[in-house]
Amino acid sequence: MALRAALRNSCGLSGLLSRRSSCSTHGSVSPLLVAQQRNNSTSPKIDVEFDQSTGVAVMRMQSPPVNSLSLDFLTEFCIGVEKLEMDKGCRGLIITSNQPKVFSAGLDIMEMYGKSPERCGEFWRAVQEMWLKLYSSNMVTIAAINGSSPAGGCLMSMTCDYRIMADNPRYSIGLNETQLGIVAPFWFKDTMVNTVGHRTTEMALELGLLYNPSEALKIGLVDQLVPEDQVLTTAAQAMTKWLAIPDHARQITKSMMRKPTVDKLTSNRDADIQNFVSFITKDSIQKSLRMYLEMLKKRRA
Amino acid sequence: MALRAALRNSCGLSGLLSRRSSCSTHGSVSPLLVAQQRNNSTSPKIDVEFDQSTGVAVMRMQSPPVNSLSLDFLTEFCIGVEKLEMDKGCRGLIITSNQPKVFSAGLDIMEMYGKSPERCGEFWRAVQEMWLKLYSSNMVTIAAINGSSPAGGCLMSMTCDYRIMADNPRYSIGLNETQLGIVAPFWFKDTMVNTVGHRTTEMALELGLLYNPSEALKIGLVDQLVPEDQVLTTAAQAMTKWLAIPDHARQITKSMMRKPTVDKLTSNRDADIQNFVSFITKDSIQKSLRMYLEMLKKRRA
Amino acid sequence: MALRAALRNSCGLSGLLSRRSSCSTHGSVSPLLVAQQRNNSTSPKIDVEFDQSTGVAVMRMQSPPVNSLSLDFLTEFCIGVEKLEMDKGCRGLIITSNQPKVFSAGLDIMEMYGKSPERCGEFWRAVQEMWLKLYSSNMVTIAAINGSSPAGGCLMSMTCDYRIMADNPRYSIGLNETQLGIVAPFWFKDTMVNTVGHRTTEMALELGLLYNPSEALKIGLVDQLVPEDQVLTTAAQAMTKWLAIPDHARQITKSMMRKPTVDKLTSNRDADIQNFVSFITKDSIQKSLRMYLEMLKKRRA
């Protein structure tokens, strides 16, 4: 029940960022969050299974409780993606979650709360890196969204070529940053505009909207809904269809569609980091984050 | 019945611009249009009601017969918006009409017919000013569209963050400029592309389409339809939802979505005025406007 | 039955490009394709009927078997369009097919297989010319799509102001280049983004999707479906509606919507030709084309 409550918090209306539990991986034990026990930090946060016969890899995110995108997680994730990218035999990548009820709850709030500017900058560079690697990947990428996917989880999903979501009305997906007083940066915005268009993005971002699966399908934020136990098999079937297209033609086409968006961040990467750091380290923003964390703590008590 | 006929003219298929009645506010009595009596020019054209407890202001346009956007109207409107914008306590603005059956019939045709280039330029600058103020407003802006809203009325609606329209099939909304031989300038076009996308805008502008409420909802030109007597209360409810989002995060997000479009006009403002003036003062265009005015006169006779 | 099989090949899932039959118009007899007999090369490939009383011209493509866009065809087509464009009395153009079951099967594969770079470049310039002429035409252009319309046929349709398609589920439309290992260039992509938006284009181009009429209507790739025998009459009715708008206002509006897209090709025309030629003359691409041609031959055998 604690987990369910936690998920309601992190993935529901006010769920933007996931939060650490007591076993922090880099020493910043949060006195606020004690509801769940983390896996030992030395356990891999990503499970990669690559089938050479099909050329398809499946990445399962397994960072309890909610696959929060911490610096450690992102580092491991990017290394995993890069390895597959460099393997000529790997043509397709399916991303899914091994955690119940959640795909990824998004950026780890503890990476932004009470941290030094340097550390915040390092974290943000890792977030950029994840996006750059996925959005410009030469592989066919499919998100098998088997749980809630707010904020950074939604961003990760949107970088993929195709999105299949579990048809469970308790799950939600969206860029809900403003609900916490945070702002999605321009490349989150660009990715969403490329996916659902300008007006839907405008309203989604200003209101920090989270959509249930039916709503997400309707606005085009996901491409297909299936029963929860069929998400992964459907992803594998869809992958077959995508891999029927000659790689080079598909890759050139994908690059043509996405390169202008990728280039915008690539050529503004340092400025974007500076912008994030100066924003997130503001007293008012830190105060908002503290209040949010205290609210989570009270709810769990 | 005269009013109904007038509304059919100004807001129906061929209704782009509203027209003056006999009591002109700046001396250019039109011999053509005599069907309605204007309010005395010293009456305020806008009624502003600001509730400090909620932080929400309601602007009611009340320039009979059809809230045409004359220079006087626009000047008063912009002053009203600016006052609210500078009031830190005002977070939300609802725009609606006090006139029956019409939200705003758009630009006042009499400001463009038989006027000096200087005067036309002054008028156009005021139209730009209205758009700039509304489209980049820091307040949450909601259009409570309780009547027809062609041309400039549609533009005004599109600048808002949210659009609620009365579900009355006699009402219509759209940028119908081409029907009169006039052309919507690039920033009208940009605003519409941002709202309904490129292809819908292309067809809407080339054909000068006016949409009934159901059609407008379907293409995304308005966000919600409600019975006519609930337009304002629904706007107030929607406002509550928008104001639940921290202002600074919402404002930064709104600016991120709209700044490129705003900057395009800001950096081309004089050229855009020149372009309008040289177009509207052409003999052929003046002739079109005269024929339109005469048609209106005949219909009313 | 041979024809039906041919059409299934060229316009179905794998149908990107049409192929020559034995009577080549410029000497490069294909030993691979012998199923259909071409019209004598001196027959006009386009039938133009211009009604001065309505100001509307109808162009019927009649290059058996499937209106493939060869260099000869494109040259004749562009000359025909230019003549009408320069005739002040011609305000509208309806494009349709005189061939059964197909609007146009797209670029003629034989213009790209085993040809010299110079010849390929000449061909590509003609493809550009067709697009430039149609996409920036001052006339109202309506595509009366009375058959399948893959690849270049889809491009031609998308350049028009309005698209009416025969509601026959056996017909399909789309840019299916990647299915053959070919890539739609940026201006094909831009035209599609302008028509159906970014995300739909991304998926359509990466997968080389062909849509049946219902699907095409749903995504906005065509504007209206009617029974096959009403395509042309419906086009004529739609034309009346478009011609009710004053030409100059409609033309300025159309140019405002399309000029940025047109300018992008105009200022990169030579580079785009070079890019096409160096791509299409690659050994790997020539091999793909040969395999495709052999597959067609086998299917017909």
pLDDT higher than threshold 60 for residue C26: no
Q: Do B178 and C241 touch (CB under 8 A)?
A: no
- Give the strand order in the sheet containing A162-166: A46-51, A56-61, A92-97, A140-145, A162-166, A224-226
ipTM of the complex: 0.87
Q: How confident is the model at residue B300 (pLDDT cuts 50, 70, 90)?
A: confident
**With contacts defined as CB-CB under 8 Å, which chain B residues touch C189?**
none
pLDDT digits (tens, 9 = 90+) for C139-194: 999 999 999 999 999 999 999 999 999 999 999 999 999 998 999 999 999 999 99
Count CB atoms within 10 A of the CB of residue A89: 12
Which has the higher per-residue pLDDT, C16 or B167? B167
Position B213 scores a pLDDT of 98
Structural domains of chain A, ranges and CATH numbers in brackets: 46-300 (3.90.226.10)
Average pLDDT score, chain C: 88
Counting residues of chain B whose pLDDT is more than 70, the rounded percentage is 86
Q: What is the mean pLDDT of residues B108-135?
A: 97
Best residue in B242, B257, B259 to probe A by mutation, most A CBs within 10 Å? Answer: B257
Q: Residue A17: pLDDT above 70? A: no
Contact B183 C256 (CB under 8 A): yes
Q: pLDDT higher for C26 or A70?
A: A70
User: Phi first, then psi: what are they for B211, rounded to 5°?
Assistant: -110, 140
Work out the average pLDDT over A8-24: 35
Q: How far apart are CA B10 and CA A99, in angstroms?
A: 60
Helix (H, G, I), strand (E, B) or coil at C167: coil
- Compute the half-sphere exposure of residue C92: CA atoms within 13 Å on the CB side of its CA: 25
Comparing B39 with C102, the larger pLDDT belongs to C102
User: pLDDT for A111-170, tens place per residue?
Assistant: 999 999 999 999 999 999 999 999 999 999 999 999 999 999 999 999 999 999 999 999
Chain A hits for C289, Cβ within 8 Å: none
**Are residues C36 and C130 in contact, defined by beta-carbon separation less than 8 angstroms?**
no
C233-258 pLDDT, tens per residue? 999 999 999 999 999 999 999 999 99
Yes or no: say if A152 and A159 are a contact pair by the CB < 8 Å rule: no
**Of A196-200, B211-215, C22-26, minimum mean pLDDT range:** C22-26
The pLDDT assigned to C41 comes to: 56
Write out the E strands in chain C: 46-51, 56-61, 68-69, 92-97, 106-107, 140-145, 149-150, 162-166, 173-174, 224-226
What residue of A is the nearest CA neighbor of C177? Answer: A249
- The answer to whether A61 and A44 are in contact (CB under 8 A) is no
B176 is catalytic: yes
Residues of B with CB below 8 A from A192's CB?
none
What pLDDT does A3 receive? 30
Q: What is the DSSP string of A196-245?
A: H-HHHHHHHHHHT--B-HHHHHHHTSSSEEE-GGGHHHHHHHHHHHHHTS
Q: Would strands A224-226 and B56-61 be described as parallel, antiparallel, or unpaired?
A: unpaired
Q: Which stretches of chain B sit within 8 Å of chain A by CB?
A: 161-162, 193-197, 220, 223, 241-242, 245-246, 248-250, 252-254, 256-258
Q: Using CB atoms, pick whichever of B180, B206, B284 lies closest to residue C161.
A: B206
Beta bridge partners of C47: C60
Q: Residues C13, C19, C23, CA angle at the centre, nearest 5°?
A: 155
Q: Which two tokens stand for residue B25?
A: 């506010």
Q: What is the pLDDT of residues A83-114, one digit of tens each?
A: 999 999 999 999 999 999 999 999 999 999 99
Q: Is C176 noted as a catalytic residue in this protein? A: yes
**Rg of the Cα trace of chain C?**
18
Integer Cα distance of A171 and C267 in angstroms: 48
**Per-residue model confidence as pLDDT tens digits over B231-267:** 999 999 999 999 999 999 999 999 999 999 999 999 9
Neighbours of B9 (CB within 10 A): 22
Q: What is the mean pLDDT of residues A216-240?
A: 98
pLDDT in tens, B257-298: 999 999 999 999 999 999 999 999 999 999 988 988 898 889
The residues, any chain, with a CB within 8 Å of residue C118's CB and separated by 6 or more, are: none
Residue A41 has pLDDT above 70, yes or no: no
* Pure H helices in C159-246: 186-196, 198-207, 213-219, 231-243
pLDDT band at A292 (very low <50, low <70, confident <90, very high): confident
- Give the C-alpha separation, B4 to B12, whole Å: 11
Strands B46-51, B56-61: pairing is antiparallel
- Is B152 a catalytic site residue? yes
Single-letter amino acid, residue C206? E
For residue A256, which amino acid is it?
Answer: M
- The more confidently predicted of residues B4 and C209 is C209
**CB-hemisphere CA count at 13 Å for B41?**
13
Chains that touch B (3 or more CB pairs under 8 A): A, C
Q: Give the tens place of pLDDT for each residue, B63-84.
A: 999 999 999 999 999 999 999 9
